Structure 1
C-alpha cells in the first residue's frame, strides 16, 4: 500500500474560511483527485476511510467542513447562516482552488457528495460540466426542497429559525429552497454519474435516487438492500472500493 501525506488546508472565499484536509499520495505526480462533500451536520472526518484508502491507491482527495454545515464544523459561519446555496458556494470555491494545484491531474477531478452534500454536489457539477470528470452521489438529498415546501408552503409560514436534529437553521435555509425544483436544475452534466442508495432509507426515499438517475445521460444507480440513511460498515467498505473503481474506470 502506498504512503500519503495528510495536511490541513484552509480555503478563503466570500469573507469566510473553509477548513479542510488533503490526502495526497507520495511519489504520485498528476494523480486523479476526488472532492468529498459531507451531509447535513457532518464534517470532513466522515470521509477519512474513503480518503486514506484512495491515497494508498494513488488517488488524491480533499475533505472539508461546509461553512455553518455542522455544530462541529471548523469552518466559518453559524448554522443559522448556512443554506444549500452557501454550501454550493463553498464547493465551487473548493473546486476553483483545487484546479490551481499543480500536483493533481486537472483532467481527472471527481466529486463525491453524501445526502445534502450530494444535492450540493449535483448542483455544482452543472456549473463545472467541462472540468469535472465524474460524480458519485451517496443517498443524495434531492428531497430537501419538497420536504420543507410541504412543511412551509408559503414564504410567510417560514419561521426565523428551526431546530432540526439539534442543529439550528435560519430563515435563509428555507427561503432559498422555497418553490425550488431540483430536477429542473440537474441533468446537463454529461459525464458518468454513479448513485448509491439504500432501499430502507427513511430520510431520503429511494425514489429520489431513482428519479435523479433518470435525469442524467450517463448514470447508474446501485441499490443496497437493507441499508438506510447512513450505511453499515460492510456497506461503507463497499462504497470505498466502488469509489476507487469508478475513478480508475473513468481516468
Structure 2
C-alpha cells in the first residue's frame, strides 16, 4: 500500500475487490487513533477520485475522514477495472455498496457516522444506494445530482430495439448495457425513503441537469434542504467548490 503522510492526516491508496473486479480508491484519514466520521465521495460521469481531492483534504484537516474512488468503467482515466462500455448506473451502485461494506469495518472509522456525497451521475448512484442503506448511512449530500439520466436517454431511445450497441458521449464509449438497464426506469420510485438529513447543491445555470431535478429531490425526501448557487452551472467555480466543502463540514458537524 502506498501511504502518504500529510501534515494532519494520512493519505493512502486502497484497493477493494468485489464481483471479480477491483476498485481503486484513496483514503484521507485524520492521523489519530480514535474512530472518526467519514464521507464517501462518488464522482460524476468520466470523473475520477481526484475530483474530490480538495474536499477530502479540507475535511481530513478538520478531523473528518474521506474516501474517494474511481468507479469501475466510470472514466477513460479510471484506475479501477472494467471498460467504459461495461459500466452502467447499476455497476456503479454495486461499486459504492462494496466501498461502504469495506470501510464501515475499518478500525479508525466510526460506523455510525458514514456519509455519502455524490456529484452528478455519482449523485444519482449515491441517492439510489442511500435508500438501500438506511441503517448504515448517517447523511446524504448531492452535488447537482443527475437524477434525469434515465429520462434523457429514454427520450433518445424510447424502445429497447432503438438502443445501439455503443454510443460515444463526450469522448466516452458507452455500451448497450448502460441504456438497457435504465429503460423505463423511474428514479423517483427508487429514492426518497432515506429519512435522515439530505443536503442538495445545485446551480441555477446548470444546462446538463435542470435545477427542477434538484427541487423535485428536495420535495421527495422527508428531511432535505436545497442550496441553490447563483450563477453556477454543471461544475462549480473555485469559489462555489470552496463553499460546498465548507458546507459539507458544517453538515457533518451538525449530524454526528
TM-score grouping bracket, smaller chain normalisation: over 0.9
Please give the alpha-carbon distance, in whole angstroms, between the structure 2 residues aligned to 1:246 and 1:210: 19
8 Å Cα contact 1:2-1:25 kept in structure 2: no
- The C-alpha deviation readout for 1:54-104, integer Å capped at 9, x for no partner, is 000000010000000000000000000000000000000000001111111
What does residue 248 of structure 1 align with?
Answer: 253
In the alignment, which of 180, 188, 202 is matched to residue 185 of structure 2?
180
Please give the alpha-carbon distance, in whole angstroms, between the structure 2 residues aligned to 1:232 and 1:53: 17
Matched, 1:32 2:65: no
8 Å Cα contact 1:198-1:229 kept in structure 2: yes
Q: Offset at 1:2?
A: 6.4
Please give the alpha-carbon distance, in whole angstroms, between the structure 2 residues aligned to 1:170 and 1:89: 18
**Alpha carbon RMSD of aligned pairs, Å?**
0.9
- The C-alpha deviation readout for 1:9-53, integer Å capped at 9, x for no partner, is 000000000000000101251111000000000000001100001
**Divergent runs of 4+, >4 A:** none
TM-score (norm 1): 0.99
After superposition, the Cα gap between the structure-2 partners of 1:58 and 1:28, relative to the gap in structure 1 and judged at 3 Å, is farther
TM-score (norm 2): 0.97
8 Å Cα contact 1:82-1:170 kept in structure 2: yes
Aligned length: 251
Q: Structure 2 stretches of 5 or more lacking a match? A: 1-5
Matched, 1:206 2:222: no
8 Å Cα contact 1:137-1:196 kept in structure 2: yes
For residues 43-192 of structure 1, what are the structure 2 equivalents within 5 Å?
A: 43-192=48-197
Please give the alpha-carbon distance, in whole angstroms, between the structure 2 residues aligned to 1:110 and 1:2: 24
Please give the alpha-carbon distance, in whole angstroms, between the structure 1 residues aligned to 2:107 and 2:206: 40
Q: Structure 1 stretches of 5 or more lacking a match? A: none
